[in-house]
Structure 1
């Protein structure tokens, strides 16, 4: 399969339009149609319906493979490019909301103080986007948070070629409204909350899939989805009774209208991990080392 044809296919699916995909890719609509026709001929099956534009069953199967394949190709290109040229004057950090701790902020400020000409940037985003930024060179380093057993690494998709090490571990807490019947408990068992109503906020709190895995339960259902990385906005919804969420205990300790109750069973912690490619610029290497020392 031709990677460019795969990229065109993914763009058409994402935009649900041949013309919009053409505009996004800088192609003519005819070229987009030719790419899709060639890919369908190669795989000997229709991949898209035309009216409306949507993937067929074969197209949905291909999409499951296409996104990680294209990401790996972009990661390979970025990895080779780093060998040729590392940008010494840039320090770009991608991080999830729960990973931007005071220690990280202080280390970043010290890096800027020691190198006044350093162009530093911080992008707060979801887990998949942060990993992708580190893989493709959009970021020099990525900080990811999540829940895991004390001896287990975070479950991170498509991060196999990145080095990873923990920079912070802290207790994990359930966030409840302050007037919730369980709000006064000193601690809670995660399994006891499997049937509760949760908020699905994978980029602002611990993903529900990680809670299910930790509790060995199919529960943790949700009736509300929260899209975004604003932890304060999520806490407002929890305080109003929209559902529960899980996050680092220190981050949630002083939120208005919120009771943050530690989880004591199973043994699970909130962890922040630093991800980086094998080739680092001097500022990125120094920041990584500073975070290692601060652990």
Structure 2
């Protein structure tokens, strides 16, 4: 299967338009049509309906594989490019919003840094495809336990920070006077669902161990990556959110109540691409040394 044809197919399916895909890829519309026809001939199956442009059942199944296949090809190219690349004088870091805190920000070099905030699942992708030299991801885990490894490609992950967790509540909330809270106390509460800016509710459900899809109902879903917006929504009473304790305690007009059970921490990890030496050089080395110091 030709990856160029596959990439064209994914773009057409995503945009639902041959002409829009041609503009996005820098091809002519006839070239896009030829790519799709060639891929359909190779596989012996129709992949798209034309009016409207939409994947067939076989095309839907191909899309389930295509993203991972193209990502691994991009990762392989980026990995090999590192052998020929000259040492970089700058540092590109991709980070999930809650991975940016006092410790990680203080570790950044004084100059020559590009810091890119991304949803958590996109940070490993940026590292393996060479868009970033290093990544910072966060999540909840038992103390000293690593985060689940990303499934995009092998990456070297190192824990760089662990913080206690707290539930952020408006000052007048009925639970605001508690000395501590358990997840069991909160399963029936109204929550903010902010998977790109905070801790996803699916993760809380998994840790809680209740029935699939049960508990931790969404009062409001926020689809941005701005942590300040998430905090403002919590203060305004639109739902609860679980945060690293230092961040939760710093929010005026709200109360941070420690999470006491189960024993969980907010963990931040440094991600480096495969093939990076144990003792890297240049800006990556300075950043790594400061994080581990």
Common topology (TM > 0.5):
yes
Structure 1 CA distance, aligned partners of 2:222 and 2:160? 27
1:127-180 deviation line (CA, Å, top 9, x unaligned): 122111111111111000111122432234335411001100011222222221
State whether structure 2 residue 213 is matched by structure 1 residue 213: no
State whether structure 2 residue 62 is matched by structure 1 residue 69: no
Greater shift in the superposed pair: 172-181 or 201-210: 172-181
Structure 2 CA distance, aligned partners of 1:156 and 1:176? 31
Greater shift in the superposed pair: 282-291 or 49-58: 49-58
Q: Which residue of 2 aligns with 1:240?
A: 236
Q: Is the 8 A contact 2:191 2:218 kept in 1?
A: yes
Q: Which residue of 2 aligns with 1:125?
A: 118
Q: Is the 8 A contact 1:7 1:70 kept in 2?
A: yes
- 1:142-221 residue pairs with structure 2 within 5 A? 142-217=135-210, 218=212, 219-221=215-217
Structure 1 CA distance, aligned partners of 2:78 and 2:281? 13
Structure 1 pair 262–61 and aligned structure 2 pair: CA distance change class (3 A): farther
Q: What's the CA shift for 1:73?
A: 0.8
Q: Is the 8 A contact 2:12 2:21 kept in 1?
A: yes
Structure 1 CA distance, aligned partners of 2:256 and 2:57? 44
Q: Is the 8 A contact 2:164 2:265 kept in 1?
A: yes
Q: What's the CA shift for 1:256?
A: 2.6
Q: Which residue of 2 aligns with 1:101?
A: 101
DSSP 3-state at the match of 1:127: coil
Q: Is the 8 A contact 1:68 1:158 kept in 2?
A: no
Q: Is the 8 A contact 1:16 1:54 kept in 2?
A: yes
Q: What's the CA shift for 1:123?
A: 0.7
Q: Which residue of 1 aligns with 2:53?
A: 53
Q: What's the CA shift for 1:228?
A: 1.5
Q: What's the CA shift for 1:253?
A: 0.8
Structure 1 pair 3–229 and aligned structure 2 pair: CA distance change class (3 A): same
Structure 1 pair 231–18 and aligned structure 2 pair: CA distance change class (3 A): same
TM-score using structure 2 length: 0.91
Q: What's the CA shift for 1:54?
A: 2.5
Greater shift in the superposed pair: 53-62 or 225-234: 53-62
Structure 2 CA distance, aligned partners of 1:38 and 1:182? 62
Structure 1 pair 285–19 and aligned structure 2 pair: CA distance change class (3 A): same
Greater shift in the superposed pair: 274-283 or 21-30: 274-283
Structure 1 pair 281–31 and aligned structure 2 pair: CA distance change class (3 A): farther
State whether structure 2 residue 12 is matched by structure 1 residue 16: no
Structure 2 CA distance, aligned partners of 1:16 and 1:223? 32
DSSP 3-state at the match of 2:164: strand
TM-score using structure 1 length: 0.90
1:88-146 deviation line (CA, Å, top 9, x unaligned): 211111111111122222221xx33xxxxx52111111112211111111111100011
Q: What's the CA shift for 1:62?
A: 1.9
DSSP 3-state at the match of 2:138: strand
Q: How many residues align?
A: 286
Structure 2 CA distance, aligned partners of 1:153 and 1:42? 43
- The two structures, once aligned, show a CA RMSD in angstroms of 1.8
Structure 1 pair 258–49 and aligned structure 2 pair: CA distance change class (3 A): farther
1:229-269 deviation line (CA, Å, top 9, x unaligned): 11111111112222222221111112133222221111211
Q: Is the 8 A contact 2:75 2:153 kept in 1?
A: no
